[in-house]
Structure 1
Amino acid sequence: MSTPPDAASDLTPAAPVRAADSGPAEEARKLPLLALLALATAVFVTSLTETLPAGLLPAMSADLGVSASATGQTVTVYALGTALTAIPLTAATAGWRRKRLLLASMSGFALANTVTAVSSVYGLTMAARFVAGMAAGLAWALLAGYARRLAPARLEGRALAVAMAGIPVALSLGVPAGTYLGEVTDWRTAFLAMTGLTLVLLAWIAAAVPDRPGTRSGQRPGMLRALRMPGVPAVLFVTLVFVLAHTLLYAYVAAFLDDLGMGGSTDLVLLEFGAASLVGIWVVGARIHRRLRGLTVAATLLVALAAALLGVLADHPPFVHLAAVVWGLGWGGVPTLLQTAGGEAGGDRADGAQAMLVTLWNVAMAAGGVVGGLLLDTVGSGAFPWTLLVLLVPVLAVVLRARTHGFPARRAGR
């Protein structure tokens, strides 16, 4: 297997062979942390904005004059905006230089959040959320490849881990902070804060993130051809089912804890999950260049263990907190693992594979909200851990079977 290709829309002439790293100190100097942290902030802002309405539903519903369930669809329409447009937008902008494309997508994101913050019309709010999802999906489709191309070959995994750290930080710290801000001020201020942060990020990107070229003239992402690449279907399946499993529990974790009589501990449980996720990201970033397959198996088993603890011992609060830590350890590195696996399996069609991965990721998030809601209304929150366990069985089976392509046991040059 050749050196991992760049991710979304990053098909460029072969780069010169990079020199081997001479030691930890030199490696640290080569890792462009300031630029990578800018990309991580882009991941953070887009991830947080997707789920922010979940903590602001009552106030948003009152202002928009619709029910809480209708307001909840602002989360779904955001995910649909990403799912429906990531592939065509990635194809249409494949030739753009990466920095220009990232600045354009984040500018559109800031505009959409501003409209959301000032709108008093439900239809306009939904349209703005859809546009925000489009901008976020375009950014996501290029961020993985961009992060990897900013680092030396042996540090690509660490670079991607830094960039993807924005996800657990957004879920564990950002959502509670946004909810608190909405409570002490109002929900519009929370969305305006997202706009303000994005404006700061635009200046940061302009000043600190190196540019990279897009696709060579005449080349465009090949989505269907990417599907025929060995390993790509396996990675996409794992992405769809793993994210679905995670989301159906995470999206309703407050309801789950409330039913256990632990509603007052929701913030603490999320904090434990987030802190453990950061540890998981660090471990994956340090080992992914040699242990992608083993780390993916370990992540699946850890999340399954957390689900089992919640299913069997949820009546004992200490085990719930333990499960949150185990869950975070397993889930934290999953975005990095799947982005890396998709990029490598896609070969010279890595751009198409990454665009499809982003699309399926958001389809899974939208589906997780729907499936979780149905479970909650029909059989109760106690079904969440067991459903998660059932979904993880085929995930583990596909990862174990895809030992040649997708999640290879051996990676050339690693």
Structure 2
Amino acid sequence: MRGTVTDTGPGESSGAVPAPPEPVRSSWAAVFSLAVGVFGLLTAEYLPASLLTPMASDLGVSEAMAGQAVTVTAVAAMLSGLLTASLTRKLDRRFVLLGFTALLIVSNLLVATATTMTVLMLMRILLGIALGGFWSMAAAVAMRLVPAALVPRAVSVIFSGIAVATIVAVPLGSYLGDLAGWRSTFLAAAGLGVLTLVFQFFALPTMKPRNTARLGTLWEVLRRPGFGLGIAGMLLVHIGHYALFTYIRPALESVVQVDTGKLTLVLFVFGVANFAGTLAAGRLLEYSLRLTLALTPALMGLAALGVALFPAGQIGYVALVILWGLAFGGVSVAWSNWATRMVPDQAESAGGLVVVGVQSAIAGGAAAGGVLFGVGGVLTVFTVSGAVLLASALLIAWRVAAPRRGVGG
């Protein structure tokens, strides 16, 4: 029967870690309610990007200062991702998740009525707490909603909320902001949160706490055989991606030579490809976790080097950008699945470490991309990042443990 994690293949850790009992039947309504929750959280996180100018003007601050609303959210998400498992270990997971959705609502409501930048920042910290905590728990909760064989598919559905938010949040926020003002946009986000809370209230089952995590558990998890090396591989993948993604617009304008009229369309298609990749990764993970972990950065690296080094023509360049979006769609799904399979007995702590790694990589990738851009322009960014992505794919294929759920014993 299922219930252990068996490590196979080169570079993988030995032994078996007991996994918690899996559910007998699937609760897909609960899975979809979590996907809606992820969509609401990521939409709220991205909104300042499309509303920066009117927010800054209304609050009497510079756009640079208004942009720090994104920074404080990311920092709070990192801390929340680290601390959620230990601070909520005695609480029903259903109530914890509902609490995070309630924080989303409160944050958006109070941002919409904020009269000073200080109040707005404090409310964005609430959003960060909800975002980091929800994300760190997502894969672990999926393990309690569907049988083990369907966990990769369930996680891909949950994380599809990220891809959908990437597609619609910025253009929709910009449209609503122009139509009714930036405050009304955050009120609409709060309304979405209310609908999400109702959906989750009826869809999520009771999930009694079975977590023994404490702060020291994070260090214990990092010391598990193969886990630290895997996190290093994950960091390389995300740093490579976010160095690229930060400069996607200059690349489209200068290399692909997409004019302003087509720029939005190409970015939209990139987002759609990202969404499709998220769902496809769920199926691929059911076949092979190792293949998914290594293939996604390999395809992203080839796409980046293709844009930088080969005369592909505009159609060819756009195809490479779409390939990049498709491949990155599988990254979050794959690494969240990897973390829970590596440490099934402390899945929430493992998820928190993944959240911290990703948030750190966003900052590190953007900073590294800025240095490379200053040195040699967008072609240098894509060349070096492409090489980093290919190197990470090799590291993952050869050295990173890729456990699978055993069917015997």
Q: Per-residue displacement from partner, 1:342-373 (whole Å, max 9, x unpaired)?
A: 11112423332211111111122233344445
3-state SS, counterpart of residue 143 of structure 1: helix
Q: 1:243–1:46: structure 2 CA closer, same or farther, 3 Å change rule?
A: farther
3-state SS, counterpart of residue 119 of structure 1: coil
Q: Within the alignment, does 1:15 sit opposite 2:16 as a pair?
A: no
Aligned to 1:27: none
Q: Within the alignment, does 1:201 sit opposite 2:207 as a pair?
A: no
Aligned to 2:11: none
Aligned to 2:160: 165
Aligned to 2:326: 329
Aligned to 2:406: 412
* Equivalent residue letter for 1:3: T
Q: Within the alignment, does 1:80 sit opposite 2:75 as a pair?
A: yes
Q: Within the alignment, does 1:358 sit opposite 2:374 as a pair?
A: no
Selected match of 1:400 from 397, 400, 407: 397
Aligned to 1:276: 273
Q: Within the alignment, does 1:154 sit opposite 2:149 as a pair?
A: yes
Quote the Cα distance in structure 2 between the aligned partners of 1:64 and 1:177: 22
Contact 2:77 2:131 in 1 (8 A): yes
Contact 1:272 1:321 in 2 (8 A): no
Aligned to 1:318: 315
Question: Larger deviation: 339-348 or 378-387?
Answer: 378-387
Contact 2:139 2:336 in 1 (8 A): yes
Give ranges in structure 2 of 5+ residues lacking alignment.
7-16
Aligned to 2:30: 35
Q: What's the offset of the Cα at 1:374? A: 4.8
3-state SS, counterpart of residue 99 of structure 2: helix
Question: Larger deviation: 282-291 or 256-265?
Answer: 256-265
3-state SS, counterpart of residue 149 of structure 1: coil
Selected match of 1:55 from 50, 53, 70: 50
Q: What's the offset of the Cα at 1:109? A: 1.8
Q: 1:16–1:356: structure 2 CA closer, same or farther, 3 Å change rule?
A: closer
Quote the Cα distance in structure 1 between the aligned partners of 2:344 and 2:27: 25
Aligned to 1:213: 208
Aligned to 1:234: 229
Q: What's the offset of the Cα at 1:381? A: 3.5
* Equivalent residue letter for 2:305: A
Contact 2:303 2:386 in 1 (8 A): no
**How is 1:248-397 mapped onto 2 (pairs within 5 angstroms)?**
248-259=243-254, 260-312=257-309, 316-376=313-373, 379-397=376-394
Quote the Cα distance in structure 2 between the aligned partners of 1:379 and 1:187: 37
* Equivalent residue letter for 2:407: G
Q: Within the alignment, does 1:176 sit opposite 2:171 as a pair?
A: yes
Q: 1:74–1:381: structure 2 CA closer, same or farther, 3 Å change rule?
A: farther
Q: Within the alignment, does 1:106 sit opposite 2:101 as a pair?
A: yes
Question: Larger deviation: 68-77 or 190-199?
Answer: 68-77
* Equivalent residue letter for 2:113: V
Give the TM-score normalised by structure 2.
0.87
Q: Within the alignment, does 1:69 sit opposite 2:68 as a pair?
A: no
Q: What's the offset of the Cα at 1:4? A: 5.1
Q: Within the alignment, does 1:3 sit opposite 2:9 as a pair?
A: no
Q: 1:263–1:76: structure 2 CA closer, same or farther, 3 Å change rule?
A: farther
Q: 1:252–1:61: structure 2 CA closer, same or farther, 3 Å change rule?
A: farther
Quote the Cα distance in structure 1 between the aligned partners of 2:23 and 2:33: 26
Q: What's the offset of the Cα at 1:321? A: 1.9
Q: What's the offset of the Cα at 1:168? A: 1.2
Q: Within the alignment, does 1:224 sit opposite 2:219 as a pair?
A: yes
Q: 1:263–1:95: structure 2 CA closer, same or farther, 3 Å change rule?
A: farther
* Equivalent residue letter for 1:301: A
Aligned CA-pair RMSD: 2.7
Contact 1:240 1:364 in 2 (8 A): yes
Q: What's the offset of the Cα at 1:384? A: 3.2
Contact 1:39 1:147 in 2 (8 A): no
Quote the Cα distance in structure 1 between the aligned partners of 2:389 and 2:269: 22
Contact 2:221 2:350 in 1 (8 A): yes
Contact 1:279 1:332 in 2 (8 A): yes
Q: What's the offset of the Cα at 1:130? A: 1.9
Q: 1:100–1:295: structure 2 CA closer, same or farther, 3 Å change rule?
A: same
* Equivalent residue letter for 1:263: T
Q: 1:389–1:169: structure 2 CA closer, same or farther, 3 Å change rule?
A: same
Q: 1:253–1:183: structure 2 CA closer, same or farther, 3 Å change rule?
A: farther
Contact 2:22 2:146 in 1 (8 A): no
Give the TM-score normalised by structure 1.
0.86
